[in-house]
Amino acid sequence: MRSLFFAVVLFMLTPDNGEAWLGRAIAIADGDTLTIEPIDGGMPRKIRLYGIDAPERRQPGGEAARGVVLDSALYQLVNVEPVGKPDRYKRTVAIVYLPSGVSLQVQLLQAGLAWVWPRYCRNCEAWQALQDAARRSGRGLWADPDPVSPWEWRRQKR
């Protein structure tokens, strides 16, 4: 009975139950993956930003995308809103809101440093409009007339 109690408590402190939670970003892997430590306790969680794909670190624009996330989110209190199930790497897929109320996804798309990922983004017309505006103005990745999407870049590297 005692172990059941601790299992329930641990589950309640584990922020992967689909509800939004607050945390502090403690590590930035790249432009679309970061580690966030819940402020209410629990283990740090790897977060994969929902609906977008930023360039890989070795890909053109990859360090710039990581830099935006680093400058915006590291050690900041953020709101994590999980979307669906964890990905194949067991990362929580989520929308991450900064203290300003703007999501990291929006910030990256406005800067022209991420693509809307059609395969994994549902009802993302507003985000697509942000990407299109960045493309038209030549911001970020769109300064290159023919940038390679991260999913295509990864496929080419295999």
- Residues marked active site are found at 48, 56, 91
Give burial (CB, 10 Å; 0-12/13-18/19+) of 72. buried
Q: Is 11 exposed, middle or buried (0-12, 13-18, 19+ CB in 10 A)?
A: exposed
User: What one-character-per-residue DSSP string does 16-50 give?
Assistant: -SSS-EEEEEEEEEETTEEEEEETTSS--EEEEET
The residue with tokens 């977060």 is 47
CA pseudo-torsion sign 25, 138, 120, 88: negative
Strands 45-49, 92-97: pairing kind: parallel
